[in-house]
Amino acid sequence: MTGQTAPAARLSLLRAAFVIARRDFLAILLSKAFFFFLLGPIILIAVSGGAGAIGAKAAKNAHPAQLAVAMPTEQAHAFAAAHDRIDPLVSLPAITLVDPVQASDPAALLQRSGENYGAVLTGSLTQPVLTGTEDQIRKWQGEVALLAATASGADQQSFPRVVTESTTTSGAAKKSARAGTATAALTLLFLLTMLLAGMVLSNLVEEKANKIIEVLAASIPMDAVFLGKLFAMLAVSFVGIAVWGGIGLAIMGATGGLTASLPVPAVGWPLFVVLFLLYFAMAYLIIGSVFLAIGAMAPTVRDVQTLSMPATMLQLGVFFLATYASTDLGSPVELAAVIFPPSSPYAMISRAAQVPDLWPHLVALAWQAMWVVLFVRAGSAMFRRRVMKSGPQQSGKRRLFGKVAR
């Protein structure tokens, strides 16, 4: 018919989400508040440094090194019996009896993957030989002499001389270092997520109060609005991380910190950094989608503060769960932390630091992405019903993020 204008085609989901993401990203990036926001990591660095030191100490205590005893069979059992008698009275290192054939090369035994040996005891009860790092030798030399004298029935006024052979590292030292790397990465991931995820909620509440969100929802799919806001805030977060990381690297390079030996994660540093960024994105999107759902349910800023408290407590609980799980890989608790969506990114970055297997990360990332989709769908549906006062009135099959099928 003449005189009538055809209605404009509605933007597709992805294009609409991109428009929202670009709008929010530029608005935040060019604001004065963002500059002051970049100053926040000064406190973050101080807290993460202290938490990392405490976590590294806890991880070291969670994986006590063992003394591998590789003496002839009778002498090894006598040494173990002496250990059982004295250990209740004096704190002694845990021991493991090892076939002397396996300890023909003590240095290689210390490097064996999957073991937690701090030192290897060979030789005999009268001429013990202790092989390990200088730190472990200094710590255990006197205890080995006491146990060897007790096991041989020698006069307690004279103890055998312990011959020492130093190595640069051991399996226990490597395992402890990787546990420290896992704890530090987990703590940093948690603090970054806590610091940055709140921007999603504040932005949604502000636009909700100004009725802007309702105008957007009337023009484009609500799923696209939520997706756009999530990925805009994620992009802003990566800008902040790039700025802070660049400053940190510059400081480390100027002070010579980069030359210090760092505990290498099990998957290697390049892949570990990539996985850290991917898991940060997943952790941010998961908690951000939860915050968006909270914003959809809250009519006022006061209600947002009330409803966001459980989400904050959830984040703290997730952090403690993942930290505990990182000390006992393969346990039911660690498996639960990997499966539970909010804690999955934290548990998996800890696993990346300690286990070299790569296929679990592909599965975990797909699992986490699925939950992001589900959370966004749930949040946008609640917003339509509570704020827009509209729901799925039409019949027909609905795509995951698509329009109603006719």
pLDDT tens digits, one per residue of 215-240 = 776 777 778 888 888 888 888 888 88
Q: What is the pLDDT of residue 370?
A: 94
Q: Which of 305, 316, 341 is nearest to 201 (CA)?
A: 305
CA dihedral 31, 35, 37, 42 (to 10 degrees): 180
Helix and strand numbers, DSSP H then E, in the chain: 14, 5
Query: Is residue 284 pLDDT above 80, yes or no?
Result: yes
> What would the pLDDT profile of 366-390 be if each residue is shown by its tens digit?
999 999 889 888 877 877 776 666 5
Sign of torsion, CA 205 188 26 227?
A: negative
Band of residue 362 on the pLDDT scale cut at 50, 70, 90: very high
Residues 6+ away with beta carbon under 8 Å from 366: none
CA distances 38 to 34, 43, 204, 245, Å, are 6, 11, 21, 12
Residue 151 · residue 125 · CB < 8 Å: yes
Percent with pLDDT over 70 in the chain: 72
- Predicted confidence at residue 394, as pLDDT, reads 44
DSSP 141-162: HHHHHHHHHHHHT--TTS-PPP
Q: How many residues does the chain have?
A: 406
pTM of the model: 0.67
Q: Residue 33, Cβ neighbours under 10 Å: how many? A: 7
What's the mean pLDDT in 92-114?
80
**Which whole number is the average pLDDT over 109-133?**
83
C-beta separation of 234 from 281 below 8 A: yes
Determine the average pLDDT of the residues in 293-319. Answer: 74
List pLDDT tens digits, range 158-217.
788 887 776 655 556 666 677 778 888 888 888 888 877 767 666 666 666 666 766 776
pLDDT in tens, 136-172: 888 888 899 889 888 887 665 678 888 777 665 555 6
What span, in angstroms and rounded, lies between the C-alpha atoms of 56 and 220?
Answer: 49
Asked if the model's pLDDT at residue 391 lies above 60, the reply is: no
- The Cβ-side half-sphere exposure at 1, using a 13 Å CA radius, reads 4
The domain spans of the chain are 13-59+174-386, 66-169
Q: What are residue 267's phi and psi, to 5 degrees?
A: -90, 0
* CA 195 to chain CA mean position, Å: 15
User: Can you spell out the DSSP letters for 302-324?
Assistant: HHHHHHHHHHHHHHHHHHHHHHH
The 10s digit of each residue's pLDDT in 229-278 is 888 888 888 888 888 878 777 776 666 555 445 677 888 888 999 999 99
Supply the pLDDT for residue 221.
Answer: 79
